[in-house]
Amino acid sequence: MRRLTEFWRRYRRNVLAVLAFGVLLVVAAMAVFADLLYPQGPWEMVTRPFLWPGDRSQHLLGSDMLGRDVMAGIVHGSRVSLLIGVVATAVAFIIGTLVGATAGYFRGWVDDVLMRFTEIFQTIPPFMFLIVLVAIFKPSVTTITLAIGIVSWPTLARLVRSEFLTLRERDFVQAGFVIGMSNTRIILTQILPNALPPVIVTSSVIVATAIINESALSFLGLGDPNLMSWGTMIGAGRQVLRNAWYLTALPGIAILLTVLALNIAGDGLNDALNPRLKSG
Amino acid sequence: MSGVAPPLLEVRALETRFSTEAGLVHAVDGLSFSVNKGDSLALVGESGCGKSVTALSILRLVPDPPGRVAGGEILFEGYDLLKLSRRDMRRIRGGEMSMIFQDPMTSLNPVLTIGDQISEAIRTHESVSRRSAWRRCVELLELVRIPDPHRRVHDYPHRLSGGMRQRAMIAMAVACAPKLLIADEPTTALDVTIQAQVLGLLDRLKRELGMTVLLITHDLGVVAEWANRVVVMYAGNKVEEGRVDELFAQPLHPYTQGLLGAIPQAGRVHYTNARLHEISGTVPNLIDPPARCRFAERCAKAIDICHREYPAPFRPAAGREVSCFVAERDLA
């Protein structure tokens, strides 16, 4: 608890980051309370088609070509975007930390093998790779999430590895050896806590990238057909771009705000987690 | 050697080498010495003479590659540490022998509190609850005289001064009451008053915990004040060994004589314009060193044989040893 308040005290110093955190809270609230706010779901045709935003107060953001409420779509879409963003990042985090920590800690041939393996993934353009993966497996939330996780981990692996390489040489790690700690213990208690801050910051950016990737997939029609996501909405609105541009713009703004908020919050985290900036 | 009890630590013909692009560096080359129980032994020598590598070799922490302990024996309570399994070696590190480092600023983990780190050290060796490990932490901080230990256990290292950090480091090193404590230049990064306090602390812990301390230093002032026995190293090997009073009163090896001559002494040099003595030349290259006295080129007393052969250790008295043809000739 003490650490949490201390953390918040430092995070608070960055006003923009607090604002971004607020935006993320709103998005998270939308995701959590989607069923309460729009119990009928995002697919229901509730009004006449092509209702412009502001035309009718009960459908604040208007309706699409089938008369579905855009606001309901954005609220329910936040669920998919956040879920995929967070879970895909968790997948990338687990693989990336395991691979990077092992490579950076043991060095030598272990490092060579793991890093060459990582480079194989890095040489393939991530979005192409993502499309291939989703095309091979049937598009569903699970496969899309895993696929995004699989294309995102190399960045984290390289970051964790470089952190481990430098931290391993530090005196306090040597001190850990001197007092007889095992490799696992040194990795978990000495090195990992020091390596985490930059990894967490990068993870927040990876959440943002994952959301964009998911939207791009849905835009191309490779998303989960049973789920309304922001990308799906943009994809659908594209056909009527000339007379109802708001159908692409509104979910686009939702993506923009969320991704921007994640990036800014990442910067805020960086300041708050950096031990060198910790004041007494 | 007393001949009754075997030494706690005995290093025999230790050879530690590092392979570099320029060639094989013989960092420690046939070093032998022993540490008796209760000793305060100082390992003295200039930078790069292999003091720290010796310490790392004893703990088997020489970075491999590029380093390697190529030969010799390190007997700790009769067991050859070089033959132990990694697992047994881990039990010995921290449990039976421990080490403190030169720079207390970097030797503590910045993201863990002092209490977390010390209890981690305790729990590495003993299966005790988090609670009782924490209690022991407070006791240990009290033992090393950190004021207000109940509050300090919750502090992060950056809140402590250099001297306090070194105390915390020492508390961590002695957490499991090791029999041997290796102190690698523990006072070099501290100012003089703190130095004296830390040395005093080491002395007290030695008595209270029954520890034996191997102090690695280049500071002869610290040696004179603190140690009871001295091993002088030069270029990877021992040149002289003896009780501290004997060695300071009558240094036998020209290198030791040179070292002692280079110390400014109150009254003798301070207020005069006399130049301090220096040892001319530089430390020899340790890549494939030739088989002759390493100090010969810098030695004012060198005779023919010094440039041809390696001097064998000569023991003029019990516990006294020198590797020098000139000293041997003069004493014989």
Range with the poorest average pLDDT among A202-211, B164-173, B300-309: B300-309
- For residue A18, the distance in angstroms to the closest alpha carbon of chain B comes to 24
Judged against a pLDDT cut of 80, whether residue A280 lies above it is answered with: no
What mean pLDDT is predicted for residues A261-273? 88
CB B163 within 8 A of CB B190: yes
Chain B interface includes A274 (CB < 8 A):
no
Best interface-test mutation with B: which of A3, A173, A179, A190 has the largest number of B CBs within 10 A? Answer: A179
Tokens, residue B77: 């309570």
Selecting from B98, B112, B158 the residue whose C-beta is nearest the C-beta of A179 gives B98
- For residue A117, the distance in angstroms to the closest alpha carbon of chain B comes to 23
Closest CA to B42 of B191, B238, B235: B238
- Return the pLDDT at A279: 46
Using 50, 70 and 90 to split pLDDT, how confident is the model at A275?
low
- CB contacts, 8 Å: B110 with chain A: 172, 194, 275
What mean pLDDT is predicted for residues A10-27? 92
What mean pLDDT is predicted for residues B250-269? 76
Give A4's contacts (C-beta < 8 A, 6+ positions apart): none
**Distance separating alpha carbons of residues A51 and A209, to the nearest angstrom:** 32
Burial environment of residue B137 by CB neighbours within 10 A (0 to 12, 13 to 18, 19 or more) = buried
Best interface-test mutation with A: which of B59, B109, B112, B214 has the largest number of A CBs within 10 A? Answer: B109
- For residue A191, the distance in angstroms to the closest alpha carbon of chain B comes to 9
What is the pLDDT of chain B when averaged over all its residues? 85
The reported pTM is 0.80
- For residue A275, the distance in angstroms to the closest alpha carbon of chain B comes to 7
- CB contacts, 8 Å: A189 with chain B: 112, 120
Asked whether the ipTM of the predicted complex exceeds the cut of 0.85, the reply is no
**Distance separating alpha carbons of residues B244 and B251, to the nearest angstrom:** 10
What is the pLDDT of chain A when averaged over all its residues? 89
What does each C-alpha distance from A107 to A168, A198, B116 come to in angstroms?
Answer: 10, 21, 28
Judged against a pLDDT cut of 80, whether residue A257 lies above it is answered with: yes
What mean pLDDT is predicted for residues A248-254? 93
Judged against a pLDDT cut of 90, whether residue A207 lies above it is answered with: yes
Closest CA to A176 of A187, A184, A186, A166: A186
Using 50, 70 and 90 to split pLDDT, how confident is the model at B49?
confident
- Distance from the first to the final alpha carbon of chain B: 21
Half-sphere exposure of A181 (CA within 13 A, CB side): 25
Q: Name the residue of chain B whose CA is nearest to A167's CA.
A: B109
- Return the pLDDT at B265: 64
Judged against a pLDDT cut of 60, whether residue B75 lies above it is answered with: yes
B103–A171 C-beta distance less than 8 A: yes
- Return the pLDDT at A151: 94
What mean pLDDT is predicted for residues B135-139? 91
- For residue B141, the distance in angstroms to the closest alpha carbon of chain A comes to 17
Best interface-test mutation with B: which of A172, A185, A278 has the largest number of B CBs within 10 A? Answer: A172
- Return the pLDDT at B275: 67
A137 φ/ψ angles, rounded to the nearest 5 degrees: -90, 155
Maximum distance among all alpha carbons in chain A? 74
- Return the pLDDT at A87: 96
- CB contacts, 8 Å: A108 with chain B: 65
* B91-101 pLDDT tens trace: 888 888 999 88
Give one DSSP letter per residue of B261-319, joined into a string: HTS--TTTTTTS-PPPP---S-PPP-BS--SS-TTGGG-TT--GGGGTSPPPPEEEETT
CB A92 within 8 A of CB A202: no
Give the DSSP H or E segment for A100: helix A70-106
Q: Name the residue of chain A whose CA is nearest to B93's CA.
A: A180
